[in-house]
């Protein structure tokens, strides 16, 4: 393969371009950004800043990898931000209630809280999946509806007031803890990404999701159970969002209905799209999406360190998003013409 590239002159550039196309422009941009920022501001590579970036990027990457799965299957999940909020509130509330009923039984308290939080994710995911797969309502509309409903339930439970009363060990021993010098969220994100990469490449579920997103009719003819797999993608997306809600709760030390929200939802879609997930479905890899989440987080951090007005920062995100997708589209067109 590589010898062929070296010997054949004209094919060389095509080979390089296809390699660049496969890995994408993103890692190069990431390296450029990191190198540039390190040169400009030594604060950037301070250990505190790096840990901060990694923690935020991990949370975004977890949500974005679920979002990516839904988009690969040809859908959308606008409800992820609201699920983060609901899971946070429910986890904290359940822990506080269990702690009142069984004081001192820390294991039970934590288990019930985490189960309740993840349960919220499963329920919202099932509702989304059911409406999309069985009732055939467009994913955009369904998750627009469940976004409003989920956010409403979260606010109803708390009246907008943070929920306290979680065991100390959950906050200090899990949320704010570090293992091997890295925050818990980073480890969780690495595990999630590894599992998702494995699922995408090696499991029938992952392959079928590509098949469904690529060509639904072909998938039906091949005997893929479309409905079950679509429900599956929405459940995975919601559960991962709920997981982020739990991680945020543990880190901050209270359950808040203001976590996640529209910002998290829009960022997760931006991360997926910049990471090369096609909104037409059928294309997209979780590991690139994770790099894209890291890129977006570092970009935000860099703009902060460079003292760019925080009000102006969304403009950069918007321009980069449109430019990334436009470049992708243009290069695809050129390839199609060749």
Residue 171 · residue 253 · CB < 8 Å? yes
- Contacts of 22-27 with C-beta under 8 Å, sequence gap 24+, read 24/276, 24/288, 25/324, 25/327, 26/274, 26/275, 26/276, 26/288, 26/291, 26/292, 26/295, 27/291
Q: Are 124 and 70 in contact (CB under 8 A)?
A: no
Please tell me the distance from the alpha carbon of residue 290 to that of residue 272, in angstroms, as a whole number. 8
Kindly tell me which of 179 and 336 has the beta carbon lying closer to other proteins: 336
Nearer Cβ to other proteins (131/243): 131
Angle at alpha carbon of residue 128, lines to 324 and 284, rounded to 5°: 30
User: How many whole angstroms from its chain centre is CA 232?
Assistant: 16
Q: Name which of 232, 255, 265 is nearest 126 in CA terms.
A: 232
Among 87, 142, 163, 264, binds other proteins (CB under 8 A): 142
Q: In the numeric block, which tokens belong to residue 273?
A: 């799209």
**Residue 156 touching other proteins (CB under 8 A):** yes
Looking at residues 69 to 108 of the shown chain, list those that interact with other proteins (rule: CB under 8 A).
76
Shortest approach of other proteins to residue 56 CB, angstroms? 18
317 binds other proteins (CB under 8 A): yes
Q: Among 36-44, 196-204, 217-225, 304-312, which window interacts with other proteins (CB under 8 A)?
A: 304-312
The answer to whether residue 114 forms part of the interface with other proteins (CB under 8 A) is: no
Q: How far is the CB of 85 from other proteins (least distance, A)?
A: 12
The answer to whether 148 contacts other proteins (rule: CB under 8 A) is yes
Per CB under 8 A, which region of 9-17, 130-138, 166-174, 196-204 contacts other proteins? 130-138
Of 159-218, which residues contact other proteins (CB under 8 A)? Answer: 159
- Residues 289 and 271 sit within 8 Å (Cβ to Cβ): yes
Task: Give the binding-site size for other proteins (rule: CB under 8 A).
Answer: 45
Note the residues at the interface with other proteins (CB under 8 A): 76, 131, 135-138, 140-142, 144-153, 155-156, 159, 266, 269-270, 273, 279-280, 309, 311-319, 321-322, 325-326, 329-330, 333
């Amino acid at each position: 393969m590589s010898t062929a590239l070296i010997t054949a002159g004209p094919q060389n550039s095509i080979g390089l371009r296809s390699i660049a196309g496969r890995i994408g422009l993103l890692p190069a941009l990431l390296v450029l950004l990191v190198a540039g920022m390190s040169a400009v501001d030594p604060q950037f590579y301070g250990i505190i800043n790096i840990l901060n970036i990694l923690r935020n990027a991990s949370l975004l990457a977890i949500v974005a990898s679920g979002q990516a799965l839904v988009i690969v299957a040809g859908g959308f999940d606008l409800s992820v931000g609201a699920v983060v909020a609901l899971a946070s509130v429910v986890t904290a509330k359940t822990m506080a209630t269990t702690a009142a009923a069984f004081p001192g039984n820390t294991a039970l308290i934590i288990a019930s809280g985490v189960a309740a939080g993840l349960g919220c994710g499963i329920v919202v995911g099932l509702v989304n999946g059911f409406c999309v797969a069985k009732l055939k309502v467009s994913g955009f509309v369904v998750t627009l509806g469940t976004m409003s409903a989920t956010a409403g339930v979260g606010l109803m439970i708390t009246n907008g007031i943070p929920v306290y009363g979680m065991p100390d060990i959950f906050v200090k021993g899990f949320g704010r803890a570090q293992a091997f010098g890295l925050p818990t969220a980073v480890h969780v994100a690495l595990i999630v990404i590894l599992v998702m990469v494995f699922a995408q490449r090696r499991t029938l579920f992952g392959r079928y999701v590509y098949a469904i997103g690529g060509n639904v009719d072909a998938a039906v003819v091949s005997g893929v159970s479309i409905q079950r797999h679509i429900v599956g993608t929405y459940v995975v997306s919601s559960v991962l969002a709920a997981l982020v809600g739990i991680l945020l709760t543990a880190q901050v030390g209270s359950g808040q209905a203001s976590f996640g929200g529209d910002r998290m939802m829009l960022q997760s879609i931006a991360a997926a799209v910049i990471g090369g997930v096609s909104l037409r479905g059928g294309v997209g890899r979780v590991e690139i999406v994770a790099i894209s989440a890291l890129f977006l987080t570092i970009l935000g951090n860099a703009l902060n360190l460079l003292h760019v007005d925080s009000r102006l920062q969304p403009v950069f995100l918007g321009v980069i998003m449109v430019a990334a997708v436009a470049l992708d589209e243009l290069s695809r067109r050129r390839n199609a013409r060749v």
